[in-house]
Amino acid sequence: MHVPVENGIAAFPPSRTAGNVVLRPLTLAGAIRLGCAGVDCGRPVPRDRLFEAAFILSGLASGVSGLAPATRNPQPETRAAAYRRFLRRARCGLKELSSAVEGILNDAFATWVKPARAKGNVVRATPYGLGWPLELAESLCAEYGWRWQEALDTPVVTVWALVAAARQRKGGRHGGIDYIERWYSGEVKAGRAKPLAIDK
């Protein structure tokens, strides 16, 4: 039976590099940090926020080295000091860094499957909610009994896959195509499979 590529991405989220900067998969905590820095994960990262976004995605903002070779400082340092150190040591081109940052953000949503709209849902004309990272972290805690920090440390690409799997397990419906349907559609387009005939 075919194992969709999304399974591998969810289980082993990829990192990306730009020069000597290693960007780690976007976690829920990283999405919150980016939001606090004025970066919207659903839009292109503004040039004036690019290095701060890379700093957050490198893991240095949370105390994990994002430069190769490892440059961990045994002494505690402030976030501002860590950011200055990151800027001093980062060796990469702006275009290369932008491509890597955007790639990491795109990777984070590779496993998202649109949910079906529930009947009776009110369509709102204005933004609402508590913020998707918080809502997803709470969902992981409620669904799996995880601790708060464990949920925050989970890569977003993994979270979306778990949300889709839990929805399906509970009998919920997807509003978009699932992973096998994505694969099959690609096979049909490439001529490696024929569309299934449906008897009426």
174 in Cβ contact with 114 (< 8 Å):
yes
Residue 117, pLDDT score: 82
pLDDT along the chain (200 residues), means of 10: 91 96 97 95 94 94 55 65 92 96 96 85 76 96 96 97 94 87 84 68
CA 104 remoteness from chain centre: 7
60: number of CA atoms within 13 Å, CB side?
A: 30
Burial of 72 (0-12, 13-18, 19+ CB in 10 A): exposed
Residue 65, pLDDT score: 46
pLDDT digits (tens, 9 = 90+) for 90-129: 999 999 999 999 999 999 999 999 988 877 667 777 777 8
Burial of 132 (0-12, 13-18, 19+ CB in 10 A): middle
103 in Cβ contact with 16 (< 8 Å):
yes
